[in-house]
Amino acid sequence: MASSSSSGLTFKLHPLVIVNISDHYTRVKAQIHHATSSSAGAANNGAAASSAAATPARVLGCVIGVQRGRTVEIFNSFELLYDPVTHTLDRPFLEKKQELYKKVFPNFYILGWYSTGSDAEESDMQIHRALMDINESPVYVILNPSINHSQKDLPVTIYESELHVIDGIPQLIFVRSNYTIETVEAERISVDHVAHLKPSDGGSAATQLAAHLTGIHSAIKMLNSRIRIVHQYLLAMQRGDIPVDNSLLRQVSSLLRRLPAMESEKFQDDFLMEFNDTLLMTYLAMFTNCSSTMNELVDKFNTTYDRHSRRGGRTAFI
């Protein structure tokens, strides 16, 4: 891996990409930790749970954006399905995601891919080569999830690939590239909001997000415990351990009938009708805006044409 790139490209990285990679890594790590803790708890083997939970999770995805001349601007990213055993990507999933993003962002193209880790690995070049049929010179964005409070720079590195001759053999290697952080107004507001949702230095004061998630967790936990109590009570009634209470059974039956209401045909019809009405209102607002813009354009055209006709001695009829 060479020290720096010689391509002369200027990279602009948006904060949304960093937030997406961090969120992707956090979710995968939390899922692995939860699955490992559950299996270890069933086997009463806490040591295995802590050992597996300490294993860092590596995530992969694509970065998308635009390239204007020698300036490459990375706007967004999406996740990829990756097989760590064969080091291969799920191509149908990648093509489907690319097609969906093209419908929403027609000007965005796949610029490269991202991953997490302290540095580029040898196996990364296989993934890098696999994306060259989409972009002949993809970029590689790597995020180091290990937090170093003494380091003020962002733990993000952008690599390019260059063909170098090493020991008489041409090889494709990663080279570091400089980048700058580019933000728009919406991203600045979002990043500022996320920055305020962090715990204080002392860790004593809970943030709004932590309090909200704690409340949801407590409510779900209480609901789960009450459902278990009702379930155990019904099983005991079925076994004959306690006498049958018809009044309670009617209440449980009435409660259960409410659950599939979301899947009923009437709900689907009402939901689609409400959704279509919302879309219709959106389209009408768009048409009204277009009509107003068109009227302003026609008025300006008439004024300009009328002035031109008076100079030429003609009369405009529009």
pTM of this prediction?
Answer: 0.57
Q: Is the pLDDT of residue 53 over 70?
A: no
Residues 112 and 141 sit within 8 Å (Cβ to Cβ): yes
- Tokens representing 96? 């489907």
Please state, in angstroms and rounded to a whole number, the distance separating the CA atoms of residues 152 and 166. 35
Give pLDDT, residue 39: 64
Residues 145 and 116 sit within 8 Å (Cβ to Cβ): yes
pLDDT, tens digit, for every residue of 227-284? Answer: 899 899 999 988 888 888 888 888 888 887 776 556 667 777 887 888 888 888 888 8
Query: Residue range 16-41: average pLDDT?
Result: 79
DSSP 123-186: THHHHHHHTTTT-SS-EEEEE--S--TT--S-SEEEEEEEEEEETTEEEEEEEEE-EEE---HH
Most confidently modeled range among 48-62, 146-160, 230-244: 230-244
Q: Is the pLDDT of residue 292 over 50?
A: yes
> Could you say which DSSP state residue 198 is in?
S
Q: Is the pLDDT of residue 312 over 70?
A: no
Query: Residue range 40-54: average pLDDT?
Result: 50
Q: Is the pLDDT of residue 145 over 50?
A: yes
Give pLDDT, residue 194: 66
Q: Is the pLDDT of residue 287 over 70?
A: yes
From residue 27, give the alpha-carbon distance in Å to each of 39, 47, 58, 79, 232. Answer: 18, 22, 11, 12, 34
